[in-house]
Homo-oligomer: A and B are copies of this chain.
Amino acid sequence: MKEPNYTLLCDYYELTMGNGYFEAGMADQITYFDIFFRQVPDHGGFAIAAGLEQAIEYIENLHFSEEDIAFLRNKGIFSEEFLSYLKHFQFSGDVWAVPEGTPIFPGEPILTVRAPAIEAQLLETFLLLTLNHQSLIATKANRIVRAANGRVVLEFGSRRAQGPDGAVLGARAAYIAGCAGTACTLTDQLYGVPAGGTMAHAWIQMFDDEYTAFKTYCELYPDNATLLVDTYNVLKSGIPNAIRAFREVLLPKGITKCGIRLDSGDITYLSKKARKMLDEAGFPQCQIVASNSLDEMIIRDILMQGAQVDLFGVGERLITSKSDPVFGGVYKLAAVENEQGEIIPKIKLSENVSKITNPHFKKVYRLFENQTGKAFADLICVHDEAVDDTQPIELFDPDYTWKRKTFTDFTAKELLVPVFSHGERVYPKFSTEEIKRYCAEQLDLLWDEVKRFENPHNYYVDLSQKLWDIKHQLLNEKKN
């Protein structure tokens, strides 16, 4: 598919501000913007970054077509000089970001842009919506995968997604975060996420009776016969008919691998009954697939009750992150450069304390215990600081600064990596498969305590002393 031109997928104010910077002679003013988020969805212990590849493609593709310029001219508020500038617009700045699949925590930059004001401002909406959307779905999908506790989870939600991209890119994010596949064919074609599925109720209704529908399906797809057994009555009709079809069509071919799908009713009760019937009929290898408005809470609950499910198809509650459908990433000015090229940190205060920003051009270190390999803290520093992990490090709580702790025997790793340098992409293009593998590796470096659904451990995200001092100096200056 051809990349669409998303240049105008921006908030209108980005263009009026752009025109304003241009007219005020500030077009070349170098700015630093951070993306960070304030809260993990569903009160979880961590989120998973996703969507960077689409953000990169968007930046590479940025341009104003003749049509776009004409559309803007028609608004009657943009100067001709600014419109000429837009004609030749392309991104010339630098971007750093955390790789897709990285666990991320509130308050830390997950992407930083350094660019002239107009360019940096224009990226706001699209970068946010892409990272917010895919990080949301990745984070949710991983919760569901964790609840399934080793059983397979497939993404089945296209039909309830919020628009075509919601379906296609949502399935991509879900796969990165641990789902084994999707029902969405286009996500397979575009991103190599394996698509699969069973049958709709319509298939069964199309035949004179359920048995004929099952038999025909088994004859067509003997190697992949998963039969939907709840069109009429699961225990009285669906499973007996499925067993008969397996016996008559698959067994003569020597095939014992097969499946049934439950899409309504009490999954715990029905799956236990189904397991028993299938085992007794000689199909212990028959897999039981369950779907029907599942999420991590229901899956955890029915597994606790001994539900006999091998594979979960999860739809609407995954693809919309139904229990918490907003990932609140924001894009905030952190610094500007003056004419001498000095970086001047900027802060935004707020009536809401949680909306106060961390100023300056920053970098983030993730600190890992050498003994276990596990991550124990992230440290946000000023860009020109470096953590020396051969020396002990003292961390302190940025709100309760008397809470201090010294760590030794650790390894520090920078979290943000270069993505664009002077307008050129410098970040490799990873396959979805590679991102998925990286994500799994990174999740293994988190303590179980962070992965709990209820009251997860509050992972440390601290500021270096230097950054804390600069922030508080700015707070004291501005609050008067």
Contact = CB atoms under 8 A, between A and B. Distances in A.
A304 interface: no
Given A201-B332, A220-B19, A266-B351, A10 B185 contact: yes
Q: How large is the interface on A (under 10, 10 to 19, 20 to 34, 35 or more residues)?
A: 35 or more
A265 interface: yes
Contacts of A124: 159, 200
A47 interface: no
Interface in A154-191: 156, 158-170, 183-186, 188-189
A128 interface: yes
A243 interface: no
A387 interface: no
Interface in A281-335: 316-317, 320-322, 325-329, 331-333
A479 interface: yes
A293 to B, nearest CB: 9
Interface stretch (A20-28, A144-152, A397-405, A445-453): A20-28
Contact of A133 (B1, B20, B162, B186): B162
Interface stretch (A103-111, A226-234, A462-470): A226-234
A395 interface: no
Contacts of A325: 162, 320-322, 325
A121 interface: yes
A122 B261 CA distance: 21
B350 A230 contact: yes
A429 to B, nearest CB: 20
Nearest to A163: B165
B328 A160 contact: yes
Complex copy number for this chain: 2
A379 interface: no
B159 A163 contact: no
Contacts of A68: 189
Interface stretch (A89-97, A202-210, A363-371, A411-419): A202-210
A198 B349 CA distance: 19
A11 B333 contact: no
A160 B231 contact: no
A83 interface: no
A326 B320 contact: yes
Interface of A: 1-2, 4-6, 8-17, 19-21, 23-24, 26, 29, 31, 33, 67-68, 71, 77, 117, 121, 124-126, 128-130, 132-133, 136-137, 156, 158-170, 183-186, 188-189, 195-203, 205-206, 216-217, 220-221, 224, 230-234, 264-266, 270, 316-317, 320-322, 325-329, 331-333, 336, 346-352, 355, 478-479
Given A10-B186, A12-B183, 9 more contacts: A9-B186, A12-B184, A33-B202, A125-B167, A163-B163, A163-B170, A205-B347, A206-B333, A265-B351
18 contacts: A2-B2, A2-B4, A8-B189, A13-B200, A17-B203, A20-B217, A31-B206, A125-B167, A137-B162, A162-B162, A164-B165, A201-B348, A202-B332, A205-B333, A205-B347, A233-B349, A317-B326, A322-B325
